[in-house]
């Protein structure tokens, strides 16, 4: 957090769970990796019109890139940014992979009851009365994947260390949800699931208005 900001809300996202929050225009959302090497599946909706949401496929088109860097917008399915990435202490994230879901663990690992990010995000969004039929594809903060010489994906352990973060400026009122990714059977989270933290801040000058 910068010296000219104050924290107005702090939310811990426990391992294997999701949490949601409302971020007002001009506020900043910090997503913090508390212990390191933990991926956070993140979705974002326009608070005034939830039919509009951050869309990774539109982001790739609007940014002409498959990487994220400070200054980039988080573009919606209506091709406008709802938030902007302003700071990033890691520099390696993913916006290709869908959230893990029931079928990921059933089909690939033979497990029926494993926690998953799709359900975590659905449950978290109910706090704000949002029950989308389909959860949009997420931005997977801190997820570390790369293309090999055959242009196939290789998933490696995250590069994030304890306390690493991204900062997202809200360009409109948003409802967001974040899941501490439940994948403990692959390198996604270094084979263990740990907490994340959301901090919502606003400029100190706002409290003087």
What's the confidence (pLDDT) of residue 87? 98
Residue 83 lies in a domain: yes
Using only the alpha carbons of the chain, give its radius of gyration: 16
CA distance readout (Å), 123 to 126, 132, 137, 143: 5, 11, 16, 22
What's the confidence (pLDDT) of residue 1? 64
Residue 208 lies in a domain: no
What's the confidence (pLDDT) of residue 42? 98
Domain count, the chain: 1
Residue 34 lies in a domain: yes
Residues in the chain, pLDDT under 70: 1, 206-209
Is the separation of the CB atoms in 70 and 168 below 8 Å? no
Residue 77 lies in a domain: yes
What's the confidence (pLDDT) of residue 3? 75
What's the confidence (pLDDT) of residue 206? 56
152: left (phi over 0), alpha (psi -120 to 50) or beta: beta
Residue 209 lies in a domain: no
Residue 207 lies in a domain: no
Residue 83, CA atoms < 13 Å, CB-side half-sphere: 33
Quote the domain boundaries for residue 196.
5-202
Task: Identify the CA nearest to 76 among candidates 65, 90, 62.
Answer: 62
Residue 43 lies in a domain: yes
């Amino acid at each position: 957090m910068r010296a000219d900001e104050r924290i107005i809300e702090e939310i811990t996202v426990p391992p294997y769970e999701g949490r949601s929050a409302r971020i007002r225009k001009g506020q900043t959302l910090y997503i913090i990796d508390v212990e390191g090497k933990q991926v956070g599946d993140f979705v974002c909706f326009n608070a005034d019109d939830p039919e509009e949401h951050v869309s990774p496929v539109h982001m790739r088109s609007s940014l002409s890139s498959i990487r994220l860097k400070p200054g980039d917008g988080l573009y919606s399915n209506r091709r406008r940014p709802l938030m902007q990435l302003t700071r990033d202490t890691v520099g390696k994230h993913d916006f290709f992979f869908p959230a893990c879901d029931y079928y990921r663990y059933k089909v690939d690992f033979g497990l029926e009851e494993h926690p998953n990010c799709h359900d975590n995000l659905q449950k978290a969004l109910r706090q704000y009365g949002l029950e989308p039929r389909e959860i949009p594809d997420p931005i997977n903060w801190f997820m570390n994947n790369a293309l090999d010489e055959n242009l196939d994906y290789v998933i490696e352990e995250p590069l994030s260390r304890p306390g690493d973060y991204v900062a997202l400026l809200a360009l409109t009122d948003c409802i967001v949800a974040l899941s501490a990714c439940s994948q403990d059977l692959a390198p996604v989270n270094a084979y263990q699931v740990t907490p994340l933290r959301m901090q919502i801040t606003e400029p100190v000058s706002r409290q003087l208005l």
